Structure 1
Amino acid sequence: MSGRNYIGIIVFAFIILALSYINYFTVLAPNYGDILLKLIQASSIIMIAYLLNSFFENIIGKQVQDTKNRYTLRKVVSVVITLLAVGAIMIVFLKETTTLIVAYGILSAGVVITLQDVFRNFAGGIIILFSRTFQAGDRIQVGDCYGDVLDINYFHTTLMEIREWVDGDQYTGRILTMPNSFVLDSTVKNYTRDFSFIWDEVTIILSPESDWRKSRDIALQTTNSLIKDYVEHSKKELASMERKYMFTSYDVDTKIFLFIESDRIEMHLRYVVDTKQRRYVNDLLNQGLLDAFATEPGIVIGSISSIEITKMP
């Protein structure tokens, strides 16, 4: 049982006892018996909700081993129990009379207008949790905000920020808190949902006299030896995606595309990599390419202008 659930159960148990004492053993009962009884019932509903939430949290904690699935399932169960508790409390306090229903409708409309941002955030939180637009641990982009999802609450989502002044999709150290209403009117770009890989590119510039065929072979060999595990796993994930989406392409093999300019040959090396390992793999790949090209006298990296400047006395 979490500390929050434990405290909630103790507090509402005390409230129920106090209200029961007032209702049955004090002079206030004749005048306020009806409202006291409703308060006791509402407090009992809330205490039962805490008990149910604690019960299901313990079961999920023992039965679900995956951290991401355990977190998401706990959130969903918590939302469902909360909604059921709110509905039960509304039934306790509302009577089936036209006057009360109309009054409640007018009051509800006023509350919704006044607190529309709060309700939008809550609606966004429900959509996120049930539609699985993203989950804790996913890497997402919303507008100019990039980061890994740390927590999804009823009203806001918390991210560990990446990019900004830091290159290569690495953490800045800042925590972003975004209202959940963004999911209603913004595009959410998910880098890891269903497919946890991305394609990255390295541009290699060669002098026109360089042996581009040998350069291409070296680049392909160096890259494939480094990312072979990523290729195999990405193919499996793409095959799984075919069962969910209209998706039939499985071409994740390393490719090189040539582009010829008057003073250089450009090789654009395209390869697949784990989303959260992009900078690390890019660094290893560049080191490997530099080491491999350094032993080949027929391969010169750089444009003609840079080579001529290097050769000037």
Structure 2
Amino acid sequence: MDWISEELGLTTDTQTKIIGTLIVLGVAVLVRIVVARTIQRNLDDTGAMYRTGKLVTYVTSIFALIGLAWVWIDAFDNLGTYLAVVSAGLAIALADVLKNIAGWAYIVLRRPFRVGDRIEIDGTRGDVIDVRLFRFTIAEIGNWVDADQSTGRLIHVPNGVLFASQVANYTEGFEFVWHEVPVLITFESDWRLAEQRLVAIAHSQAPDIEARAGARIRETARSYHMKLDVLRPAVYLTVKESGVLLTARFLAEPRSRRLVEEKIWRSVLEMIETEPAIELAYPTIRGFLRGPLPIESGFDT
């Protein structure tokens, strides 16, 4: 120990604290590894394995910080004075870091979303696949993909963004979203028949959706003031320049919107094939002539 003091200029007390630090960190890492291997041997569910692993990481990190504080702050003597001096510098130098840590605490305690939820934040949509101390990770959907399907990219978002941005959660509480499919038919079509057929098609895609959604609303009402009187599919009518617009509105699971829309369009196209009184409309230009069209002869008489 004496030669270390001579070579490095470290006092005996500082050397003891460094050794204590290495012991604390070594024990924390060893415990983390042992527990992680135990979890892998005893759990088959990847979701439970992930959550348990995260909990172990948080617990070991907290105890490691307590151990380091015990080593370096002389068994917490003058802890208040130490924290007062250090906190002023940290508040300035580590503002973003502290904001991210506060954001992590907000995620853990308030639960604006959980791992597995589909959210949108700052224009980015996707499924939350990981939450860490400084950032959370989203498996992106949409963007250049014209649907709610994965792009293959992972978006890492700092936790501090939560305090300056609104978060839209697709799957929290109610667990269903409203979706609409617009169908434009010609003015000459039988719009009443088309409306009846479109309502039947919307109902056929999820016959039990109303009961399931009603049950979820009753559960969600315990935490949120949510009231939806109409849960069954409906068709709304309006007139556009090119024809009569029938809009099918229905509930769908957030991750099934594209699949349900595809099924509805397939049924609509099959219906149009069998119903000559219904035709799809598209932008057209019609010209009308008033009176006879004058024609000049090119021959001399």
Per-residue deviation, residues 54-96 of structure 1 (Å, max 9, x unmatched): 5655676677776445434432442243123212321221135
Does 1:224 find its partner at 2:221?
no
SS of 2:29's equivalent? helix
User: 2:242, 2:281 within 8 Å by CA — same for their partners in 1?
Assistant: no
What is the match of residue 211 of structure 1? 190
List structure 1 runs of 4+ shifted beyond 6 angstroms: 62-65
- RMSD between aligned alpha carbons? 3.1
SS of 2:255's equivalent? helix
Give 2:230's match in structure 1, choosing from 246, 251, 258.
251
What is the match of residue 289 of structure 1? 268
Structure 1 CA distance, aligned partners of 2:246 and 2:252?
19
What is the match of residue 306 of structure 1? 284
SS of 1:192's equivalent? coil
Shift of 1:262: 6.5
What is the match of residue 154 of structure 1? 133
User: 1:238, 1:250 within 8 Å by CA — same for their partners in 2?
Assistant: no
What is the match of residue 171 of structure 1? 150
Structure 1 CA distance, aligned partners of 2:48 and 2:107?
14
Structure 1 CA distance, aligned partners of 2:233 and 2:102?
43
Shift of 1:295: 0.8
Identical-residue share of aligned pairs (%)? 28
What is the match of residue 38 of structure 1? 17
Shift of 1:101: 5.0
User: 1:258, 1:268 within 8 Å by CA — same for their partners in 2?
Assistant: yes
User: 2:28, 2:61 within 8 Å by CA — same for their partners in 1?
Assistant: yes
Mapping 1:46-125, distance limit 5 Å: 46-54=25-33, 57=36, 67-68=46-47, 70-95=49-74, 102=81, 104-125=83-104
* TM-score normalised by structure 1 residue count: 0.77
Structure 2 CA distance, aligned partners of 1:125 and 1:221?
47
Does 1:242 find its partner at 2:221?
yes
Q: Which runs of 5+ in 1 are unaligned?
A: 1-21
Shift of 1:223: 1.9
Per-residue deviation, residues 245-300 of structure 1 (Å, max 9, x unmatched): 22232632101111135752221110111211211221221111111122111112
Amino acid at match of 2:90: V
Structure 2 CA distance, aligned partners of 1:52 and 1:184?
34
Structure 2 CA distance, aligned partners of 1:66 and 1:190?
25
Structure 1 CA distance, aligned partners of 2:159 and 2:84?
26
Amino acid at match of 1:119: L
Amino acid at match of 1:129: V
What is the match of residue 128 of structure 1? 107
Amino acid at match of 2:249: R
Amino acid at match of 2:280: I
Pick which of 46-55 and 142-151 moved more: 46-55
Aligned length: 283
User: 1:163, 1:171 within 8 Å by CA — same for their partners in 2?
Assistant: yes
Q: Which has the higher helix share?
A: 1
What is the match of residue 246 of structure 2? 267
Pick which of 187-196 and 221-230 moved more: 221-230
Give 2:163's match in structure 1, choosing from 179, 184, 194.
184
Structure 2 CA distance, aligned partners of 1:49 and 1:155?
20
Amino acid at match of 2:284: S
Per-residue deviation, residues 3-25 of structure 1 (Å, max 9, x unmatched): xxxxxxxxxxxxxxxxxxx6xxx
Pick which of 185-194 and 76-85 moved more: 76-85
Shift of 1:124: 1.2
SS of 2:183's equivalent? strand
* TM-score normalised by structure 2 residue count: 0.80
Q: Which runs of 5+ in 2 are unaligned?
A: 288-301
Amino acid at match of 1:195: F
Structure 2 CA distance, aligned partners of 1:288 and 1:105?
69
Structure 2 CA distance, aligned partners of 1:155 and 1:291?
52
Structure 2 CA distance, aligned partners of 1:101 and 1:270?
60
Shift of 1:113: 1.2
What is the match of residue 10 of structure 1? none
Shift of 1:197: 2.1
